[in-house]
């Protein structure tokens, strides 16, 4: 994971929306790094025990990426055989309020939503 793709500053609007700087367990893109994934400091809004919005740089612009922490459903009979990963749910969005509303409206039709066994992510205050 490249730190320059994850801005560390939190704006006043992001604070009002509940964003915070946290260390996320095993954060990285799917298959971006070979095990073990490392913990990373990122600006996030916790949406659920397994979902976050992550502040990123996307094509040089600030955007918000909805990620879910979980395992591939292919391992449902033997979940211990798979590691948890951060799965992208929707395409990055430049509007944090819209990204939150999209999560609140449900994940119907979202990428990977039917192939993830959700797990609660761990974090540390930054």
* pLDDT value of residue 16: 98
Q: What's the whole-model pTM score? A: 0.84
Residue 42 and residue 29: Cα distance in Å, rounded?
13
Burial of 114: CB neighbours in 10 Å, binned 0-12, 13-18, 19+: exposed
Domain encompassing residue 102? 3-125
C-beta neighbour count of 89 within 10 angstroms: 20
The average pLDDT across 80-88 equals 81
| Mean confidence (pLDDT) of the chain | 84
The average pLDDT across 75-95 equals 83
Instruction: Report the candidate in 82, 84, 47 with the shortest Cα–Cα distance to residue 65.
Output: 47
Please, which pLDDT band fits residue 15 given cuts at 50, 70 and 90? very high
> Which residues sit opposite 118 in a β-bridge?
70
Q: Tens of pLDDT along 28-56?
A: 654 555 555 667 789 999 999 999 999 99
Domains contained in the chain, number: 1
Task: Kindly report the backbone phi and psi dihedral angles of residue 117, in degrees, each rounded to the nearest multiple of 5, phi listed first.
Answer: -95, 110
Q: Tens of pLDDT along 97-116?
A: 999 999 999 877 777 778 88
Compute CA distances 116 → 59, 75, 87, whole Å: 27, 10, 8
* pLDDT value of residue 51: 94
* pLDDT value of residue 9: 93
* pLDDT value of residue 44: 95
Residue 30 and residue 47: Cα distance in Å, rounded?
20
């Amino acid at each position: 994971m490249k730190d320059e793709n994850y801005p560390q500053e939190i704006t006043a609007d992001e604070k009002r929306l509940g964003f915070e700087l946290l260390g996320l367990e095993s954060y990285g893109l799917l298959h971006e790094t070979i095990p073990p994934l490392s913990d990373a400091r990122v600006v996030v809004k916790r949406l659920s025990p397994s979902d976050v919005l992550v502040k990123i740089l996307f094509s040089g612009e600030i955007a918000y990426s909805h990620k879910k922490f979980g395992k591939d459903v292919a391992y449902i009979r033997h979940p211990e055989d798979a590691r948890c990963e951060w799965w992208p749910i929707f395409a990055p969005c430049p509007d944090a309020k819209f990204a939150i509303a999209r999560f609140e409206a449900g994940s119907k039709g979202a990428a990977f939503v039917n192939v993830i066994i959700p797990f609660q992510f761990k974090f540390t205050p930054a």
